[in-house]
Structure 1
């Protein structure tokens, strides 16, 4: 056989491999995009309603300070120097 026939088969083989790899990568990208869409919807819902959740927490626990810690003065400081 002449080299042209071999090169034709090699080119067809490489094209088939590239096509299958491209199809596989596109399928993976589609799956990841669906997962990303699902998680982004969850995060959007949580962040869109974060104020409501914080208000509910403060209603249930009025002494709970979520964003800052109250500085409580220590009455008896003798234990620091013992």
Structure 2
């Protein structure tokens, strides 16, 4: 959701979608940053380029959602090394 009026550009917010899924993915992203080396490197790269915390965590959340969808579509479990 954007908060724009004329030339003023406000901060965007996420309100659409299923709240429980959004909250679960957020907590999974926080955990992935701490425990998954690949996600931690991706997060650090975003932070080093100057991205704010919420933008970086949203990128991790999106990456996790895409990973979950692809694992479900391929009917397989996650492994640290790709097949």
TM-score, shorter chain, exceeding 0.5: no
> Relative contact order, CA 8 A, sep 6+: which one is greater?
2
TM-score (norm 1): 0.30
Rg (Cα) greater in structure? 1
Select the structure that is richer in helix: 1
TM-score (norm 2): 0.29
